[in-house]
Structures are given as C-alpha cells and as structure tokens.
Structure 1
Amino acid sequence: MSGTVPEIPFLDLAAQAAEEGEALQAALARGVMDGGWVGGPLVAELEAALAAALGTPHVVAVSSGTDALMLGMVAAGIAPGDEVITPPNSFVASTAAIRHIGAVPVFADVADDINIDPDAVARAIGPRTRAIMPVHLGGRVCDMDRIGEIAQAHGLLVIEDAAQAFGSKFQDRAAGTFGTVGCFSTHPAKNLNGVGDGGFVATADAAIADRIRRLRSHGTTPSGVVEFGFVSRLDNVQAAVLLMRLQRLPSVEARRRRNADLYLRLLQDSPVRAVPERQHEYNTWSTFRVEAPDRDRLAAHLRQAGIQTAMHYPVPIHLQPAAAGLGYKAGDFPETERQAAHTLSLPVHQSLGAEAVARVAEAIGSFYRQG
C-alpha cells in the first residue's frame, strides 16, 4: 500500500465535504457574498451560537487555536516570567503559546488516562507559578474537579486547552468552561472544523472577553489604540462554514462515539489497551488512542492492510529540540515517555461505517495472532 491512498484513511475531509454537498456550497457562498470578509457579521453570529452551545457568557473568535491560547493568557493577565504548568504529551502548540508570550512552561507528568495528573500538578507549583494549563487530549476532559481545587487553593488561573474537546463534558459541564478561559481550535482535523485555521476563546469574564476582542485586531478601539495587539481575526468564510457544521455536529459526535464504542467492544480481548469513557465523562473522541505492544510494527502492518493510523505524540515536548533550553531530560516524566512509545491513534472519524471499524479491529487481531 506504500505510496497509495489508504482504503481506510485516518481523516477523510473529502468524504465530509461530499456528505455536506449543497450545505457546504451554500455556506461558502454566504461567507463570500455578504462582503464582510474579515471579521464580518457572521463572526458575531458564530460567537453567539458557540456561547449558547457551551453555556458560557462570552466567546471570542480568533484565527487559530494557538492564538486562542496566546490571547487568552495575555488577556487573563499572564505576564513574561510567569510559570504555567502544563503536560508534555500535548501537541506542541500548548507549550509554544506559553513561550510566545514570554511565560515559562513547567511540565507535569500525566496519568494513565493520558491527561495531566493533578498530583503531579500540585508537586510542580512554585513561587512563580501563575496558572495551570490542562490539555483535554483526544476529547477526554481532564479531572477538572481536582485541578480546580488545586488552582483555588494556590490562587492560580486555569487556562483550558480544549482544542481537541469541543462538545466533550466532565460532570455534565462542557470542556472549556471550567477555567478562567477555555481555548478551542477549529482546524480541519477537529470535530467542529473549518476549511482552514480558526479558533475561539470562551470565558465568563466580560473584561477578559473585551480585551481579547481588542487584542485580536491590533488593540484598537473607537477611541484609539489602547495597547499594541495582534492580527488574529476569524474570517467570514470560516464563520459561515462553522455555523453550518455546528448544526450538524450532534450527528458527527454520535457517529464518532458509535465507532469508539465499537472499537472498545471489538478490542477488549486483544493486547491493545484503550481508556473507556467513564461514568462522569462524555467523550467526543477527536482521536481514538490505544496503547499497543510492538506499536511501530503494528502501524506498519495496518498500513500494508490499507489502514492509515497516526501517533499522538511519539516524541514528548520536553524531548523536542525546541525545548532543550527548558532543562528537561529523558526520564523526567516516565508515564508520558512510556505512553509516547506505545500509543497509536486509530481512525474514528464520522465517515467510517461499522464494517470499516470491524476491519481495523480484525487487522489488529491478525497482527497479534501472527506473533
């Protein structure tokens, strides 16, 4: 199968577009033809719809999930030199955003559920700690009860990286609504996805929301430039597409959850391990990750069978060249490093039917039966 299109792709945006058909064409036309191409009227409509979906007072749309993290932290008052505790098993954007605003990332190891370990967070707190940035990986929400308790006890901000978890819940509360700010991405790989980059920040704090609105557009206000800001506006076309896809999202989530449930049933007797949804969770499964013995050879076996997989993330952030100056080394975060060596993400997108999921599970079983 090398060099050919996989029969079961990890992500199938073409299938999504084909299913949407005329609805996608109408959204694109709406985003272009009303003339408000940068920060147009559809952006405000989208912000209101997202706020209603999350049950939060304020949503501010920006140009990417990374900008959501950066502007969210700046607006919340995180300053150069402040320390922000975050896990090292995330996509690099979470740590990069901390560095870009001049703050200092301090890593805390993860638990066996792939999310940051609250006990490790508590141990990492120091005199310069200003905030905790939990990352809701793959749609699974972190233990926000414990993280909230720790933050309150130490007077810390909580910056939720909910880029992979729009629609997910913890104790019936939406991801991104627990902290000072919740930061989301609408990158094409996400469940609520645009046709390009985009993101947004959710907050209950009106002053923070107002500041993000200024910061995303050079810091300008009707009375002048209050502070030097950025260029981080969501364009009208993305807003139009996201409004359409937000209406279709319940079906997308239902099909992803169906596929994840089927994997959990079919793989329960195999050597691979997946963390099931717990009673207090509602997981939208932006990715379906398993820990697999002989992970690399399994991935090659699946590739030969026409099944595309992904690895999230084989080199933890603290071992990346860009993080060399932070002073960490191999062995500092043993659970993160153990998971990185064994984790494989299986296709779980909404365009997969039950037969495709069963085929993936059978291919995994055949690999281990071969020894």
Structure 2
Amino acid sequence: MDVISVNIPLFVPTYRVEECLAEIRECLEKGWTGQGFKTVQFEQCWKAYTGLPYAHFIHSATAGLSLALDVLKMSHHWKKGDEIITTPLTFVSTNHVIRYHGLKPVFADVDSYLCIDPADIERKITPRTKAVMFVGIGGNTGQYEHVVHLCRRHQLCLILDAAHMTGTRLHGVVPGQEADAVVYSFQAVKNLPTADGGMICFKEADHDAVVRKLTGLGMNKDVYTRTHIDGPYKWLYDVEHIGYKYHGNSIMAAIGLVQLKYVDQDNAYRKQVAAWYETELKSLVPHIQVVPLAPGCDSSRHLFIVSCADRDELILHLNEHHIFPGVHYRANTHYRMYRHAKGSCPVAEQYSDTILSLPLHLRITYEDVQYVIRQIRLFAEYKYEADWT
C-alpha cells in the first residue's frame, strides 16, 4: 500500500524568494511602490520577451479583458447588444467582461483541443457580431491560425485571452501579433505568478495610449509621469475618460521581473512533467485520454488535462489518496447566468463532464507523478475490470 506524508496539490507557485525580495527592497528604498518605476521596467521586458509592440501592466487579467473590450468598443463604435463570439469552456471572467459593457456573449463550441472551433464560429456570425474571444486553454493554441483568418475575412476584431499562455509559442513564435488585443495573467498560480496582475497588449499605438488613461481613472498623466517631467505645471492633468483604477504596482512588477527571467526554464520542467504523464497514460486509453496539443504548439503547459467518462469518481478516488486535481472548466452554459445558451455547444458540455487537470507545478517530482499514475491505474483496474500491465 502506498503511503505518502504530504498531499499532491494541483498548483503550488514557486518564487526565487531572495531575488524577488531584492527587487522589492529597491522599491521600498526608493519610496516608489505604486505605478511607474518597476511597472515601466516590466512592460519593457515583456515587449522584448513576446515581440508584441505595446504592453501595459494591470492589476488582473480580468481587468485586461474588460479594458480590451472597452477600448475596442470605443474605437469601433459598438452598440449595446452587439455580439462577441466566445467559448463556454473557460473561467467565467472571460464571459463576464462581455456583459460588463452591454455586449452579448454568443457561445461557439470547442474542438478536440478544448479551444473554440472556427467552424462553429462561422455558423454563429450575424450582422451584429463584432469580435471573437479566443482562449488558449492550458497554453494550447488550438486552431488559432484558422480563427485569425476567419476574423480577417469577416472583418471582426480578435481578442486573445492568453491567461494560460505565458511562454506558449506557435511555430516558434509567441502568438498575438495578429490579434487586436492580447491579455495575460500573472495571478498566483499562473506560470509567471506575481501574486496577482496581468498585461494587456494592443496592436495599435492609439489603443495603448487610451488604455493607459483608462487604467488611471481617465487622467491624461499618471503620477509617475507627473513626477518625472520638468516645469511649474507638471502637477496639472486633465481627465479625459470615465476610467478605472486598474493599473498594476511596482511591488507586483518587481516580482514579475524576476519570474520572467526564469519562465522558459520553468516551462521546460512543466513540459517534462507532462511528458512523464503522457508516457504512462498511453496504456489507459480509451478510458483515460490525454487532451492533445495542436500541431505546431509549443505549450506553456499551464495545465495537463485528461478526459475520463467517470471523472467525478476518479476525482474522489484521487482525493482519498491525497491527490487533488482540478476541473478546467465547467461549461459556462451550465451556470445560471448563461443557462439560456445550454445545449448550444454540445462538445463543450460533454467535455465539461469528463475533463480534469492533473497536478502540475515546479515542485512535483517524478516520484509524485508515478504515484498519481499508480492511483489512476488502480482506479481503472477496479472500474473497468481490466489488467493494464
């Protein structure tokens, strides 16, 4: 009988503590912990890392998605009730932000990669469709290139919800140059955790200029800029928009600067853990199936997702043996807020009942993975009365 002394959780963030503290100490010694200073440095480093032309550090990816819609709605003159085609298989914030702005989320189904299916997008385009929200679930790119071409053909804006995609590359390149807006998450358990935070990256310079005002309550000069310019009226600013307090701060950015140095190294280990899982799970097909990566996708491996018809029983079995997987995600069409669309995305709703994410983080070991696999195998032998040796 297997006995372990600790639990195996789904996520455990890892920080280079001394380096992070050194960056934070500099903020404290300078007396600058808010917007500016480290946030500016982090934005510059992020642009260099991704190749995206603009980047603005914000306090969460949810704020970023909301801002993306706010800016695009303003610049393209969208009206209340205009439609955004989106996926039901995502964290609920993806779709909540559409409703924040009086827009209508229209759900398109997912493909075998759990990403939005371009064929179903095309079926659901109407004269009121203004944009597509693409979610790179778990770091997967799905049929992103097809969605890009579809948006160009129908003259739709494209928003890339890249909350799981820090470090993901498609054919060797960070995806997003083609999108009107890309939003990343640095929330506590993401691949690049900063306790919380996010980055919004627009394609157009004027959109970046507007979002910087919106995140600072609509003011046309932030406090860092006012402090670092010359002249007797440097304190003077105007308020051009009804904005929000959505900008990030230098403490979170200080952590981000350290984490960014290691993100590719960290993702390489995540890929190794995923490879250990894949090797061992091959023998359990068809009862346990790994959700595949799209061709050309070098995934960040934020998640390792499998599908099992008896998912809920498997989760209970794993919990009893100190293993705590997750579910990413329940189809949003099951929630009361979006139940009006139930049945419109049968593939997503089927996956919603079968998928689970196995523990994947930097502190998990080869022995941990073998223990998880052993418990899955024991469940399969009992449930399906088969010998998997």
Q: Pick the TM interval, shorter chain.
A: over 0.9
Secondary structure of 2:309's aligned partner: coil
Is the Cα contact below 8 Å between 2:140 and 2:294 reproduced in 1? no
Match runs of 1:1-371 below 5 Å? 7-13=7-13, 16-17=14-15, 20-77=16-73, 79=78, 80-195=80-195, 197-222=196-221, 223-270=237-284, 271-314=287-330, 316-324=331-339, 327-329=340-342, 331-371=343-383
Partner of 2:130, secondary structure, is: strand
- Cα distance in 2 between the residues matched to 1:310 and 1:120: 27
Contact 2:326 2:357 in 1 (8 A): yes
Q: Percent identity?
A: 28
Distance 2:260 2:207 in 1: 25
Structure 1: distance between partners of 2:106 and 2:293: 28
| Partner secondary structure for residue 58 of structure 1 | coil
| Kept after mapping to 1: 8 A contact 2:113/2:292 | no
Specify the structure having the higher radius of gyration (Cα).
2
Structure 2 counterpart of 1:228, one-letter code: I
Query: Are the aligned partners of 1:62 and 1:233 in contact in 2 as well (CA < 8 Å)?
Result: yes
SS at match of 2:305: strand
Aligned length: 359
**Offset of 1:323 from its aligned partner?**
2.2
Amino acid at match of 2:137: L
Please state whether the residue corresponding to 1:158 is helix, strand or coil: strand
Give the whole-Å Cα distance in 2 for the aligned partners of 1:105 and 1:31.
Answer: 41
Unaligned runs of 5+ in 2: 222-236, 384-389
> Is contact 1:54-1:174 (8 Å) kept?
yes
CA-CA distance at 1:167 after TM superposition:
1.1
8 Å contact kept, 1:159–1:182: yes
Opposite residue 317 of structure 1, the aligned amino acid is: N
How far off is 1:54 after superposition? 0.7
3-state DSSP of counterpart to 2:290: coil
Paired residue secondary structure (1:36): coil
CA pair 35-127 structure 1, distance change in 2 beyond 3 A: same
The CA distance in 2 between the partners of 1:22 and 1:340, in whole Å, is 41
- In the alignment, is the contact (CA less than 8 A) between 1:83 and 1:106 conserved in 2? yes
Of stretches 293-302 and 122-131 in structure 1, the one that deviates more from structure 2 is 293-302
Q: CA RMSD in A?
A: 1.6
1:33 Cα deviation after fit? 3.0
**Amino acid in the other structure paired with 1:39:** Q
Measured in 2, the distance between the counterparts of 1:272 and 1:27 equals: 44
The 8 Å contact of residues 140 and 297 in structure 2, kept in 1 or not, is answered as yes
The amino acid that maps onto 2:192 is L
Q: Mark the CA change 1:278 to 1:122 in structure 2 (over 3 Å): closer, same or farther.
A: closer
Alpha-carbon distance, 1:119 to partner: 0.2
Report deviation, 1:193: 0.9
Provide the C-alpha distance between the structure 2 equivalents of 1:97 and 1:22, rounded to a whole number of angstroms: 37
Match of 1:134, SS?
strand
CA contact (8 A) 1:30 1:237 kept: no
Please give the TM-score of this superposition, normalised by the length of structure 1: 0.93
Distance in 2 of aligned mates of 1:261 and 1:276: 12
Distance in 2 of aligned mates of 1:306 and 1:319: 29
C-alpha separation in 2, matches of 1:27 and 1:307: 35
How far apart are 1:248 and its partner, in Å? 1.3
Answer whether contact 2:108 2:344 (CA < 8 A) is retained: no
Measured in 1, the distance between the counterparts of 2:26 and 2:365 equals 31
**Is the 8 Å Cα contact of residues 61 and 184 (structure 2) preserved in structure 1?**
yes
d(CA) in 2 for partners of 1:258 and 1:90? 25
Long gaps (5+) in structure 1: none
Tell me how far 1:29 sits from its aligned partner.
2.2
